[in-house]
Structure 1
Amino acid sequence: MNEKEFVILQLIQENPFLTQNEIADKMGLSRSAVAGYISALTREGKLLGRAYVLPNKKEILCIGGANLDRKIQAHADIKLGISNLADSSQSCGGEARNIAENLGRLGCESSLLTIVGADHAGEWILEYTKPYVDFNPSLISNDQSTGTYTAVFDKTGDFVIGLADMSIYDSIQEDLIEKKWGYIASSELVILDTNFPAEVLKKVITKCWKGNIPLCVTAVSSSKVKKLPDDLFGVTWLIANKEEAEELSNIVIKEDGDFFKAAELIMNKGVERVVITRGDKGLIYFTQAGEAGAVLPPLVKIADETGAGEALVAGIIYSHLKGLQAEDACKIGSACSLLTIQSYETVNHELNQKKLQEAFKRYFY
């Protein structure tokens, strides 16, 4: 930002209703020159470009999915080709939305850039999430239905199959990132899931790198992670499970050492910190700074594993923003995940800073 841009921004902060002509008179510039400086401030994210709206500083912007999640659990052994008795429930979901809600419950200022339909599901997601998350960056489509994800479980609660109807995300274009750049540029950190098209993911990663904005990428699934570019410079954290890590590293993970080998190969693409989850064996982490290790969680009674990954990401990023090193960040993320799987909600309704601190001390001290 040059000196004239700085002065113009100060004038707008004092009075957002100043016209370009009034700013020009105060500074002894032409109106066209002022318009040029304002355009530059908009590109830099210092203004949102509409009536001189100044962006509110948000700690975290989450970019990606917000769905209606349905869970179906069979009463008996599932048999194909016939009707199976089952119980069903539904909740707000989506990787980015779940992470944003977790962070909001932990006291972080989080916002969400997603797209939902102008339908009952979209309205419910908005109303339910608003107490914890700023939805102003998001879009509402009149042409498409809100995304849905249906998870089917057997009688013991083990996951059988997931069915995703998320074509609404295919409508997102690269130019949206330019239009919403003010929200991205004013964030202390961005979290990106892989629900949006490949060109959009690449655009976010590239612009965050050039803008020196910390970025966390969460993989979502082994099929969607294929949309990530080979060049991952600018990614501060990449968090994936075993299958997603295999896809990114192009190796088969068979032994414990293979997790670290996969993490190193992913770091070779430009990532600063890699976390790979290992189910009930916890996770491993590996960083460009030379930090490496494993976090082994205690055994707990599991109510529902849905949402565990999103809670892990939220806990890690919550810790990262507080300046903690990778090991402690991963332990706090694991504690957040443990709290989630002991509840029946995708995001634990009792989650807060105090609960997380207590869980961290209980499980990892």
Structure 2
Amino acid sequence: MMKSPTILAAGGAYIDRRGQVSGAFAPAASNPGTMREDVGGAVFNALRSAVRRGVSGSLLSVRGGDVLADRVARAIASAGIADLSAVFLDRTTPSNTVLVDRDGALIVGLADMALYELALPKQIRRAKVREAIGIADAVLCDANLPSAALERLLALAAGKPVFALAISPPKVAGLAPVLGSLALLFMNRGDAIALTGADIGAAEQDIVDGLRRAGLKSGVVTADDGAVLGFDEAGAFSILPPGKVADGAADALAGATVAARLRGLTLRAALREGVAAAMLAIESAEFAPAFTAASFAEALALIPEPQDVA
């Protein structure tokens, strides 16, 4: 039996809160609505998706010594992921809280992520982490890692593919110095514009050209209401998904795409699998949906073939 690919992931695994206003949003007032709380984080969501597509994963993150940390630890364990994270008893566990209006548009977000900046660079120097990188087939990281941690991680992973998630336009700037060392970067259109300086309405080929000039060899660009764009040395292409790819669905897309790439699929074929995982995430309202081989095959059958970008 062939050994499954292994990934060492480094980045955020935290408490994710999402509040949605029920009616018209009233600033500076109490608004009726609903609040959902779960364990999330882009790299954790993506790794869960990859594991469900047959990858063996381990996760390096950091968390506090509070009750929320226990919830994060349980979520990592229940996903079948080896936990290499460090616990800081005198700190609070990172969290991300967003408030959206009744249509899902962001009103405000609050990211309490200071612990990552403080602690992750030193954690990557641990012998256990170096050993995990040494035996892994690939590394997955997100832009929650400060630049010192990213550079250290890439140095340790020399010769192995490093996949990255952009997180947000402000954070993706931290990846700019290492773009040329990445095997693949997952981002949304806002992240791509931040990296390239392109106009908001830039054509797909202009986005690709700008990312190539920035040093990126291969990338995936999602859009809330449009096609998913991919490019590598073979050219640029797009896939029009049946639904909207945003929030945790984009993380599911990244994880399934990475798993398929590690099985030897081309980016075109792998991204179709990623889009299928994203559609399952949307349907389940979970960041990393559970699915069977049969249900995944059904979703994949609904994903159109990639189309070349002119």
Give the alignment's TM-score, normalised by structure 2. Answer: 0.90
Asked if the contact 1:57/1:186 (under 8 Å) is kept, the reply is no
CA distance in 2, matches of 1:81, 1:98: 33
Asked if the contact 2:18/2:99 (under 8 Å) is kept, the reply is yes
CA distance in 2, matches of 1:266, 1:59: 28
CA distance in 2, matches of 1:173, 1:361: 40
Q: Secondary structure at the match of 1:233?
A: helix
Pairing 1:197–2:138 present: no
Q: 1:181 to 1:268 in 2, by over 3 A?
A: farther
Mapping for residues 57-76 of structure 1, pairs under 5 Å: 59-76=6-23
Count of aligned positions = 301
CA distance in 1, matches of 2:104, 2:4: 42
Aligned to 2:294: 354
CA distance in 2, matches of 1:280, 1:152: 20
CA distance in 2, matches of 1:236, 1:58: 16
Amino-acid identity (%)? 25
Asked if the contact 1:59/1:189 (under 8 Å) is kept, the reply is yes
CA distance in 2, matches of 1:222, 1:119: 30
Considering only aligned residues, what root-mean-square deviation do their CA atoms show, in Å? 2.1
CA distance in 2, matches of 1:226, 1:271: 13
Asked if the contact 2:273/2:300 (under 8 Å) is kept, the reply is yes
Give the alignment's TM-score, normalised by structure 1. Answer: 0.77
Q: Quote the offset at 1:58 in angstroms.
A: 6.1
Pairing 1:178–2:122 present: no
Q: Secondary structure at the match of 1:251?
A: coil
Mapping for residues 113-262 of structure 1, pairs under 5 Å: 113-172=60-119, 174-179=121-126, 180-208=129-157, 211-256=158-203, 259-262=204-207
* Structure 1 or 2: more strand by fraction: 2
Asked if the contact 1:70/1:149 (under 8 Å) is kept, the reply is yes
CA distance in 2, matches of 1:352, 1:171: 39
Q: Secondary structure at the match of 1:129?
A: helix
Q: 1:159 to 1:285 in 2, by over 3 A?
A: same
More RCO (CA 8 Å, sep 6+)? 2
Q: Secondary structure at the match of 2:16?
A: strand
Q: Which runs of 4+ in 1 moved over 4 A?
A: none
Q: 1:129 to 1:173 in 2, by over 3 A?
A: closer
Q: Deviations over 1:230-288 (max 9, x none)?
A: 242321001111111112123224132xx33332332344433111112221211111x
Larger radius of gyration: 1
Flag structure 1 segments of 5+ consecutive residues without an equivalent.
1-55
Q: Which amino acid aligns with 2:216?
A: V
Q: 1:76 to 1:238 in 2, by over 3 A?
A: same
Q: Quote the offset at 1:347 in angstroms.
A: 2.1
